[in-house]
Structure 1
Amino acid sequence: MLYVSTRNDQEKVTASQAILKGLAEDGGLFVPEEIPSLDVPVEKLADMTYQETAYEVMKLFFTDFTEEELKQCIARAYDGKFDTEEIAPLKKAGDAYFLELFHGATIAFKDMALSILPHLMIAAARKNQVKNDIVILTATSGDTGKAALAGFADVKGTKIIVFYPKDGVSPIQQKQMVTQQGENTFVVGIHGNFDQAQTGVKQMFSDKELEKAMEETGYQFSSANSINIGRLVPQIVYYVYAYAKMVQSGAIQTGELINVTVPTGNFGNILAAFYAKNMGLPIGKLICASNENKVLYDFFATGAYDRNREFVLTSSPSMDILISSNLERLIYWIAGNDAEKNRSLMKSLQEESRYEISAEMRSQLSEFYGNYAGENETSSMIRETYQEFGYIMDTHTAVAAAVYKKYREETKDAAKTVIVSTASPYKFTRSVMTAIDEKYDSKADFELVDELAALSGVNVPKAIEDIRTAPVRHTRVCEVNEMQAVVKEFLHM
């Protein structure tokens, strides 16, 4: 299985090379030349553990890893740092199944992929005789940063630098990042939003002079963002696992179509569901849920992707994104894998901050449904779900649940639906608790943690207990135009 760039399909690399590079030389994203088909029947998958399922999916994409290498990476990733044996449990509330992806070390879905990425990367470095230290350079809208820091902390031969919007993450998210241990970790707040952080990181990846200077000092960049195929492929696993477990429990019959609702920012999580569908998993509708930064909703409604709009800070900050990087992989797909056509659309996005796809390309998006939920709808969904079912969800999951409700009302489609629950409510305690009852707004953040525990009957996760008294280690803040200088300073260049 070889990988090509979405902007130049002549550049072909192996899986391990794509993982190491993160981003293609031309700024494109690596995609597999073809999507492989699942080669294990669902009945067999139904009896497998999460780790066994992960191997059956990943072996189809990461074909230059040996069975031993891949199984070792999986075993090290999905171990005791998850607080449930099933890794990704399904919880039914009302007529939906919530796929809880927040049982890892940093209580967000990013753990599902970032627990394995460091192991894949180290194996890939050995395989390709890489002598340089790998510098993981990442922008975060809140969750990727901490999950990547936790994954790479003190991993030999790596350093990790995370940029986050100083005023654009929740207090818990910020505390998780700035208290991160590890001599190879560096966290920087920027005076700007996530899109500016992401653009700054991408510019550094494509800066040839910086690459040369890095090489001379024994470093090379790679990415932990979902632009890295080593992040995206592990995300396919939990859709396959969820479907198999629904068959095992009798919730669905083998072959029965399910819908998937995904709270969406950078488009990686829903793209993984799209890839799973194209591997043969019986998924019907891919329901793309946006918050008030509804650039994706507008794209599915009109065929025009236009980031010329106000950037809104919401209670679901991991979705406060106007440049959804992974959408490029879908655009390449619906352009018939035409790198030139995709390149010209991305050029338009860079120069005019917008592009519009053709009617022919739009016709291939029928399996997607897009909608959005405003702040009041998000709060109402948290409150109603708690009052009706006793289930407490975070703000991002609530956006997805609210959009799913709109989809049901509009289409009357009664297919069983998995709602992807991307973060623990403990990450967004203030927003969650005040949605349930405004009286909680007067309490301090960590008081709210204890109130949430009492209300939900769910123990406070270790990730939260750990940061109650942890000292702040990272205090650096910079302007957007200082990002490169800060990187050079950390690397003593």
Structure 2
Amino acid sequence: MNYISTRGQKGKVSFKDAVMMGLAEDGGLLLPESVPSVADKLDELAKLSYNELAYEIISLFAADIPETDLRTLIEKSYSSFTTPEVAPVVKKGGIYIQELFHGPTFAFKDVALQLLGNLFEYILKERSEKLNIIGATSGDTGSAAIYGVRGKDNINIFILHPKGRVSAVQEMQMTSVTDDNVFNLAIEGTFDDAQDIVKAAFGDIAYKKRYKLGAVNSINWARVLAQIVYYFYGYFQAKKQGAQKVRFVVPTGNFGNIFAGYFAKMMGLPLDKMILATNENNILSRFINNGDYSKKDVVQTYSPSMDIQIASNFERYLYFLCDRDSKALSEKMAELKTSGRISFSSDEMRNVHAEFATFSTSNELTEKTIKEFYDKTGYVLDPHTACGVSAALSMADADYICLSTAHPAKFPDVVEKATGLAPEKPEGIAKLENLDKKCITIENDLERVKDFVAKHV
């Protein structure tokens, strides 16, 4: 399996090269050149453990990694999770909830970033190379990426987060990692500002090559690939518990999480519509509802990991929406850059509506959902998961699997306000307050960030 750019100007690359490249050199995102089908293997796949299933799916896309090595990488990546199921499914209040928060930073990003960190280390050792990771985070990606590569040989990591716009726990998780290869940068701006800086740094090809930049954001295909696995696993687990017409509800701001589900469906997973849940930063909901993909100001909400206006993985979906026409896709991305919006035809919107439905929440509804779901079931939702549960409760016309993207203890203020009780803290969170912290505040300026990276590699 080789990889191509959504914008069509880069030759084919191998899986290992795709992992190391992150963003394609023409500014596009990498995708496999074909979509393998497992439609005739679903009964067999349903019998597998999570790690075995991960091997069967990932090996279809990583032909240049020997079987023994890939199995070892997968086992190593998920040995840090608190349950061998990795992504278990529980049924509460008539809704299937897939818990994706059993990794070391208690967020769904661990599923992908524990694997990506080990892939980086494996490839760098093989090639006797070094890598400088630069990434942006709206909260969870940063800590998960840091925990994925902390202390690893031949890797430095620079994570940009919007100052004052992540939860206290998210900030402590990032800044309490004081390893010499970890650098936390608090940007005086929004997540979109931080993401723009990262993309611009990667777009400077000479700079990228000179300082050997690598990507951990979901622009890296390996991130999406690891997430595809839990859609298959979640579907199989829900079916075993009696689910019939399955729909996934996905709280998302960057489109990477739901794109993984879309790709799983293309591979043959028999899903009904995908439901995209957003908060007040609802550019993706506006797109699905009426084709309005236009920039607006970012609003701070109870679910900060979704406080995003420009979804970095949306381009991958647009590539398929444009029938894999790189020229048409490039024109849409150019339109976004010049006008702050993208236009869609009626035929394109019909295809969107065939694949997706959407639901937007407010802070008020998020808080209400956390309270009412707890009162009814005794189960505590984090505010991001509550956005998804709100969608499932409002639709109630299928068997909904809601992706639970973070542990409620990462957002204790919101949970306590809603339920009257502070969420129980796992040991990994409880110890954060007493740890030393390391963080640097930096201007919202591309050149300042590039200079900082250059001085610390």
1:265 aligns with 2:253: yes
Q: How far is 1:465 from its partner?
A: 2.5
- Corresponding residue for 2:159? 162
RMSD: 1.5
Per-residue CA deviations over 1:19-76 (Å, capped at 9, x if unaligned) read: 1000000110001112111266333323311100100110111122111121011011
Counterpart code for 1:120: L
In structure 1, which of residues 427, 445, 452 is the aligned counterpart of residue 423 of structure 2?
452
Partner secondary structure for residue 138 of structure 1: strand
- Corresponding residue for 1:244? 236
- Corresponding residue for 1:220? 212
Counterpart code for 2:346: A
1:383 aligns with 2:347: no
- Name the CA distance, whole Å, in 2 between partners of 1:182 and 1:7: 37
- Corresponding residue for 1:427? 410
- Corresponding residue for 1:456? none
Which structure 2 residues correspond to residues 16-95 of structure 1 after superposition, within 5 A?
16-38=16-38, 41-79=41-79, 81-95=80-94
- Name the CA distance, whole Å, in 1 between partners of 2:260 and 2:427: 28
- Corresponding residue for 1:298? 286
**1:205 and 1:417, CA in 2 relative to 1: closer, same or farther beyond 3 A?**
same
- Conserved in 1, the CA contact under 8 Å of 2:124 and 2:130? no
**1:16 and 1:209, CA in 2 relative to 1: closer, same or farther beyond 3 A?**
closer
Counterpart code for 1:100: E
Counterpart code for 1:469: N
Counterpart code for 2:20: L
Partner secondary structure for residue 218 of structure 2: coil
In structure 2, which of residues 428, 434, 454 is the aligned counterpart of residue 463 of structure 1?
428
- Name the CA distance, whole Å, in 2 between partners of 1:462 and 1:234: 26
1:197 aligns with 2:190: no
- Conserved in 1, the CA contact under 8 Å of 2:118 and 2:149? no
- Name the CA distance, whole Å, in 1 between partners of 2:190 and 2:383: 19
Partner secondary structure for residue 235 of structure 1: helix
- Name the CA distance, whole Å, in 1 between partners of 2:311 and 2:86: 27
Per-residue CA deviations over 1:268-297 (Å, capped at 9, x if unaligned) read: 000001011111111101000010001001
- Name the CA distance, whole Å, in 2 between partners of 1:39 and 1:383: 40
Per-residue CA deviations over 1:410-432 (Å, capped at 9, x if unaligned) read: xxx2x211000000000000011
Q: How far is 1:485 from its partner?
A: 2.0
- Corresponding residue for 1:142? 139
- Name the CA distance, whole Å, in 1 between partners of 2:72 and 2:293: 41
Structure 2 unaligned regions, length at least 5: none
- Name the CA distance, whole Å, in 1 between partners of 2:148 and 2:4: 27
Structure 1 unaligned regions, length at least 5: 441-450, 454-459
Partner secondary structure for residue 288 of structure 2: helix
Per-residue CA deviations over 1:197-247 (Å, capped at 9, x if unaligned) read: 0000110011134235x2xxxx41110111100111000001111112223
Per-residue CA deviations over 1:124-147 (Å, capped at 9, x if unaligned) read: 3455x3x43111111000000000
Partner secondary structure for residue 134 of structure 2: strand
In structure 2, which of residues 150, 153, 157 is the aligned counterpart of residue 153 of structure 1?
150
- Name the CA distance, whole Å, in 1 between partners of 2:178 and 2:42: 41
- Corresponding residue for 2:441? 477
- Name the CA distance, whole Å, in 2 between partners of 1:206 and 1:164: 20
**1:9 and 1:210, CA in 2 relative to 1: closer, same or farther beyond 3 A?**
closer
Give the TM-score normalised by the residue count of structure 1: 0.89
Percent identical pairs in the alignment equals: 38
In structure 2, which of residues 209, 222, 229 is the aligned counterpart of residue 230 of structure 1?
222
Give the TM-score normalised by the residue count of structure 2: 0.96
In structure 2, which of residues 316, 329, 332 is the aligned counterpart of residue 342 of structure 1?
329
Partner secondary structure for residue 12 of structure 1: coil
